[in-house]
Structure 1
Amino acid sequence: MISNEIAQMIVDRTMAILSYNINVMDEKGIILGSGDTKRRGTIHEAVKYRKHPEDNLEIHPEEKEKWNGVDQGINLPIYYGNRTIGTVGITGPPGEVRKYGELVKMTAEMIIEQRYLLDQVQYDERIRREFLYQWLEDTYANDREFKRKADMLGIDLKLPRIVICVFPDSEKNSRDHLDQLERKIKTHLKTQELATVLEDRIVIIKTIALSEEYETKLKEWIRFLHLPSSYVGTPASEASEVARSYQRSLMTRKTAAATSMKDDVVFYGQLSLEVLLYDLYQNDGFSVHQSDEPLPEVLIATLKTYVECDGKSAKTADELYIHRNTLQYRFANILNITGRDPRNVRDLFYLYATRVFLHSFKEQEDLIQ
């Protein structure tokens, strides 16, 4: 129960106040820590052979000859959790050192308790991180150990959740900054919510109420904390969907970079079409036909604005500060170059997929990690 490190910590802290040698022994009387380095690892025979470990033991000058290597002093039991786990001894005339006994004993027990609590917190945190990694990687399936960890951590796997990935700016992406940001986030999480640093990001698994306007509430929460660029996946109504929410939050980030989206909070739903196209581009070689003539920048910008204005010509012309006739002239140019009419829904979708999105992607490709 008492390690050599903790025993020596007790010795060092108490001897910084008292001018007497201190020994800390385990339940078998082995000296784990001492101000006398020669005594470390040796046996304190009087402590080892005392009848009742819970009794105080005083050794007077005339008694020390009974024991090998033992000096006069007092020895008091160390308790943790209502049981004796060791002994702390003060070397010196019992009449002198007796008054310090309870103080040294209390100090030893306090140090041991604090260290145990710290170790427990660190252990719990390690379990929480392992649990979160396993959940995000979708490696648990129906693993009983995963469910046992959830029960141990008090995590209700039936609650709906969503994953948020937070990416600090590159100049603030040091481990120290990420750890500091993680601690800040954790102070604002509910008991059923998790967060951890993972590579260059902080991943948050947050509970949501599917019946409410969760997007508005999440955006308010993220901005209240002044979090950097945050990308939100899709709602997970059950535990098995959390990994998908995580993957979609990452895809949202990459797609936002590809399309030069500057919003500080981006939801998958805002870019679901673009995410699909991005995935096709990366995995299936989706591209513009080799014989297709490239469109001038002004026509690509016109198409992009037309889509953002829901295909409304008047609104598009206003956004571009051009006359409606100029807009129609540009549409005619697009039709002449591509053979596709943006005023036709099917053609507009093709043009957006092959010209607007891929054009943006190729421009920003070097920024995607």
Structure 2
Amino acid sequence: MLIPELAEKIVKEVRKLIGEDIIVVNNEGYIIASTDLERVGTFHEGALIASQQKRKLIITIEDQTKLIGVKAGINFPIFFQNNVIGVIGITGDPTTVTPFGEIIRKMTELLISENYYAEQFDWHSRALESFVMDWVQAKDWNEAFMNRARLLNIDMEIKRAAVIIEFSGLTSPITREAWSSIFKKFQKNDKEVVARSGNERIILLINCTKGASRERIETRLKQFFLFLSDNFNIHASAGVGQPADPKEIKVSYSQAERCLKIVKSPSSIAFDEDLTLEMLLEEISQKTKADFIKRTLGPLIQENELIGTIKELFKQNHSLKNTAKNLHIHINTLHYRLKKADELTGLNSNNIHDLLTMYLAILFLDEQTKTNQ
């Protein structure tokens, strides 16, 4: 529990409050951290007595000749959960350093407590992340897998919907304190699972046994996005899969991933039940998509103006008037650009087959651009 790394941190923090030498001693009486590096690893009989008797021990100048390895000062046992886990000592005139003693001990015990709960949080987060990833990847439900579920207090018999929340615009890793707040904000009960996935994603497995309607899920996600933005300046989007039985959660997770790929902007939420064309496009391999782009829009890849014009045409539902207006060009200029694009590609933007071909190519190109960013 009281490892040298933590003891060194304690010495460093305590030294900010008092200019005297500080030592941290384990329950066997050996100094594991000190402002005087030469004392590290040496035996301190006074600290051993303080640890065994669970009381502070003032060491006088006279005691230096009676006890092994001591210097005048004061030693305090460090308590954690009612047990002595070590001793902190302050070297100096006892009458001078004693008034600081209780403050130093309380600060030390607080640092140890914070470190303990931080380690517990990190362990639980890593264990939960690992378990959830195994679960959504359809790992066999063997005895070891089920034991992990019980250890993490996860009910493996209820229907859930998978939600993947992805952060955008992060400039630095999210702190432990922020992750703790994020988990507490979303997890409403022990029937729901909230796990991080790297530094930029959260996986939610929402309890659907009591009818977690689309409206309720959407409301909760929007409130959560607002919380992230207001408290941590984090922007996020989400993909939501459909409810699935525990052993089919992989299906819901795959649906959520598919939804996330089509989300257009931060704070957007995509539900699998809304997907139509996207269901088919997701099944097409990346190589096939790349070949399709080359065969259709290949001659236009370096023509940014023409590509932008075609994108705007689709954005405006093929309204020439609105496309020209949004591009701030004359309608004749738009006709010229579209004619040039038709000539270069061999496609006819007025033919429904060619128009669909061009639309699919633009979708694949946007996806390719997003992936390469």
Q: TM-score scaled to structure 2, two decimals?
A: 0.66
SS in structure 1 of the partner of residue 186 of structure 2 = coil
Quick one: which amino acid aligns to residue 35 of structure 1?
A: T
1:162/1:97 CA distance change after superposition, 3 Å: same
Alpha-carbon displacement from aligned partner over 1:238-262 (angstroms, at most 9, x marks no partner): 22111111112223344x47xx999
**SS at 2:76 equivalent:** strand
1:188 aligns with 2:186: yes
Q: 1:155 to 1:357 in 2, by over 3 A?
A: farther
Residue 188 of structure 1 aligns with an amino acid whose one-letter code is F
Q: Structure 1: how far apart are the matches of 2:195 and 2:163? A: 9
Q: For the Cα contact (< 8 Å) 1:53–1:84, is it kept in 2?
A: no
**Aligned-partner Cα distance in 2 for 1:60–1:103:** 21
SS in 2 for 1:89: strand
230, 240, 257: which one aligns with 2:238: 230
> CA shift at 1:178, angstroms?
11
Does structure 1 residue 365 correspond to structure 2 residue 364?
yes
Give the share of equivalent positions with the same residue, in percent. Answer: 23
Alignment gaps of 5+ in structure 2: 226-234, 293-309, 319-351
In the alignment, is the contact (CA less than 8 A) between 1:182 and 1:195 conserved in 2? no
Partner of 1:265: 269
Report SS of the residue matched to 2:285: helix
Q: Deviations over 1:146-191 (max 9, x none)?
A: 322322332222222111233456xx26564899799657513323
| Mapped pair 1:45 → 2:45 | yes
Distance (Å, rounded) in 1 between the aligned partners of 2:51 and 2:202: 56
Distance 1:79 1:162, change over 3 A: same
CA–CA separation in structure 1 for the residues paired with 2:141 and 2:22: 53
Amino acid at match of 1:25: V
- 2:82 alignment counterpart: 82
- Tell me the CA shift for residue 26 of structure 1: 0.3
Judged with a 3 Å threshold, the aligned counterparts in structure 2 of structure 1 residues 225 and 63 are, in CA distance, closer, same or farther, namely: closer
Matched residues in 2 for 1:178 and 1:7: separation? 23
Greater C-alpha radius of gyration:
1
- Please name the residue that 2:138 is paired with: 138
Which whole-Å CA distance do the structure 1 matches of 2:174 and 2:47 have between them? 50
Structure 1 pair 15–262 and aligned structure 2 pair: CA distance change class (3 A): closer
Q: 1:233 to 1:355 in 2, by over 3 A?
A: farther
- In the alignment, the residues of structure 2 paired with residue 9 and residue 218 of structure 1 have an alpha-carbon distance, to the nearest angstrom, of 44
How far apart, CA to CA, are the structure 1 residues paired with 2:160 and 2:68?
66
Would the aligned equivalents of 1:182 and 1:196 in 2 still touch at CA under 8 Å?
no
After superposition, the C-alpha distances for 1:76-119 in whole angstroms (9 at most, x for unaligned) are 22222222211122223434444433333222222211211222
Matched position secondary structure for 1:187: helix
- Is residue 9 from structure 1 mapped to residue 13 from structure 2 by the alignment? no
Whichever residue aligns with residue 193 of structure 2, its letter is E
Partner of 2:253: 246
* Equivalent position amino acid for 1:245 in 2: S
SS at match of 1:63: helix
Distance 1:178 1:251 in 2: 28
Match of 2:71 in 1: 71
CA distance in 1, matches of 2:197, 2:119: 20
5 Å matches for 1:1-369? 1-48=1-48, 52-139=52-139, 141-167=140-166, 172=169, 176=173, 184=182, 187-191=185-189, 192-198=192-198, 201-209=201-209, 211=211, 214-226=213-225, 228-236=236-244, 238-254=245-261, 256=262, 264-271=268-275, 273-279=276-282, 281-282=284-285, 360-368=359-367, 369=371
Match of 2:340 in 1: none
Unaligned 5+ runs, structure 1 = 289-296, 306-351
- 1:367 & 1:193 partners in 2: Cα distance? 33
Shift of the 198–359 alpha-carbon distance from structure 1 to 2, 3 Å rule, reads farther
Separation (CA, whole Å) in 2 of partners of 1:359 and 1:116: 59
Q: How far apart in 2 are the matches of 1:109 and 1:262?
A: 43
The change in CA–CA distance for 1:282 and 1:15 in structure 2 (over 3 A counts) is closer
* C-alpha RMSD of matched pairs (Å): 4.0
Preserved contact between residue 178 and residue 202 of structure 1 (Cα < 8 Å): no
Contact 2:240/2:259 (<8 A) preserved: yes
> Is the 2:162–2:241 contact (alpha carbons within 8 Å) kept by the matching residues of 1?
yes
Give the direction of change, closer, same or farther, for the CA distance of 1:175–1:156 in structure 2 (3 Å limit): farther
